[in-house]
Amino acid sequence: MTQFIYAKIDTANRSAARYLTGNGEIGSPCIPIYFDGSADNEEEFLSGGGARKQGQLFFECGRNPANKFIVVIYGGEVVVLEPAGPIRFVKSEVQPGYDGFVKLLPVREVIREPVKDVPAILAGINANRYYSSGTFREISDNGNKTALQCILDKSKVQLPLQCTVIHALECLSSVELETLVAKLFEELGCFVPAYRGGMIKDVDIFVHNNSSVDLSLCGITLLPKSRCALQVKLKLRANRKKAPSGVDYLITGSEVSDPSILGASWLSAAIKCSPVTRDWLFTSLSWLPDAYLYSLQAAF
C-alpha cells in the first residue's frame, strides 16, 4: 500500500533547500530530524520516546522504503521524494547552536513541480495545522493522497465504488471550500465582500442581501437588506455542536446529523440548484482522472 508523508525541514522549511540539494551533513539529499540529539542510535532514540509516531515513521522509511513518498513544499515548488537508504546519526555541522546528533534519511527526488501546476489542495498543504505543526507526519486525508497520486501517476488513482458529494468536497482545499460557499451565495444574488474572513475570529464569509426581496437557498432565507455571517469548515470535530457566537450558519464538508449545522447534504443540494457554481466546482477538480470526474458529476 502506498504511503504519503508530509515533511518539514526546520521552521517554515527554511533549511529545505540546503538539505534537499545535498548541502547537509552527509553531502547528499536527505531529510533531517532534530528531536533528542543525545541519542546516537535508533534503539536508544525510540526507547526514549523520540518524537513518538513521527520518529517511528521516520525510521520505518529507512528500514522499509518501498511505496513511500515524502512531500516537501518550499520555494514555490512541490517536491516529492522517496527514501533512499537507512537512517544515519551524525553530529550536526550545519545548524548553529545545535550540539547533538541529527538523524538523516537519505532521499532521492521523484518529481518537482511549481505550486501553480499542482492541485490547490496539495499546494496549500502547509496551511494544514495538523501537518505543519509536525515534522514528519503521514498524510491521512483522501484529498491530498489523491492529489499526490495524480501528480505521480493518474492511472493508479483508485475510484470509489460509488462517488458522492463527500468525494468531491474532500478534494477541495479549505480556501476552495470557502470560495465554493461564497460563489453559491453570489449566484443566489447576494453580495459577498470577501471570500475569506482572514483574522476575524470564527467568521469566514459575510453575505449581504442588498435587494428588496427575500433570497433563499435550500432552507436559508436572507431577508431584504439583511446580512449574515458564515463559518466554513472542511471537517468538524466530533464535539462541535453548533455555530459559535456571532455566526449565523456553520457550513461544513462533513456529513452531520444536527439540523442546525449545514453539512455535505446541504452543500450537495445547493450545488445542484446553482449551475454556475457547479461548473466552477468541476473546473476546480479537473485535475482528477476523467473517469473519477465523470462519476462525481453524476452524483450532482
pLDDT of residue 45: 84
pLDDT of residue 36: 78
Highest mean pLDDT among 25-39, 85-99, 223-237, 272-286: 272-286
Which residue reads 489523491 in cell numbers?
Answer: 146
Residue from 152, 47, 193, 33 nearest 100 by CA? 33
pLDDT of residue 43: 86
Q: Please tell me which residue, 81 or 244, carries the higher pLDDT value.
A: 81
On average, the pLDDT of the chain sits at: 92
For 104-144, the pLDDT digits (tens) are 999 999 999 999 999 999 999 998 989 999 999 999 999 99
User: Residue 179 has which C-alpha cell?
Assistant: 470560495
Lowest mean pLDDT among 139-153, 182-196, 247-261: 247-261
Q: Could you tell me the domains of the chain? A: 3-156 (3.10.590), 165-298 (no CATH)
CA angle 168, 114, 155 (to 5 degrees): 50
Q: Please tell me which residue, 15 or 49, carries the higher pLDDT value.
A: 15
- In the chain, % of residues over pLDDT 90: 74
In single-letter form, the type of residue at position 278 comes to R
Round to whole Å and give the CA distance between 232 and 177: 7
Instruction: Count other Cβ atoms within 10 Å, centred on residue 279.
Output: 10
For 35-94, the pLDDT digits (tens) are 877 788 888 888 876 568 999 999 999 999 999 999 999 999 999 999 999 999 998 877
Helix boundaries (H) for 34-153: 42-47, 53-63, 120-123, 129-132, 142-153
Query: Does residue 240 carry a pLDDT above 70?
Result: no
Report yes or no: 224 and 211 within 8 Å, Cβ to Cβ: yes
pLDDT of residue 65: 96
